[in-house]
Structure 1
């Protein structure tokens, strides 16, 4: 049986949220960049909520970031595995202090 290597992922904040709250980040997965716009949205059930849109794909996901019980995403990866690049990426930006609370 082959050992499958997990992809190398990094995230960069390309543009911090502007006055309307919209920002841009880049997920680099094994050397391929995927650009996303994001907007922090109100979340009444725990964690911080974000609307995340992958540029060029038309995909929009609602993502929650917080304690383990306050994490969710509408993408297929999260629905299947309970974790995804969107939650991990936003959590990393928050942990680095690059996404201060707006709401």
Structure 2
């Protein structure tokens, strides 16, 4: 199996994910300090939305990885199909030659 290289999108997504995670955690902690560590609807919704954002970043990274792996699989499949086509053609020629020899 071919080794996959990290593309530009993944290099950009990694620091953006870390920044979003750190900034979101810092903002939620700041909100908790302001409210006196009382968990209200504002903090609850902030944590929930932050977790959704982290989840979306993870899903984006997984989808990009799957897309890259599928392109490798498709290329390998096309090569195998070409080889099978050649093998079938060779076998067909061999069968034709055998039939000619049998008819003689």
TM-score range (shorter-chain normalised) is under 0.3
Question: Larger strand proportion, structure 1 or 2?
Answer: 1
Higher CA-based Rg: 2
**TM-score, scaled relative to structure 1:** 0.26
Question: Larger helix proportion, structure 1 or 2?
Answer: 2
Higher relative contact order (CA 8 A, sep 6+): 2
**TM-score, scaled relative to structure 2:** 0.26
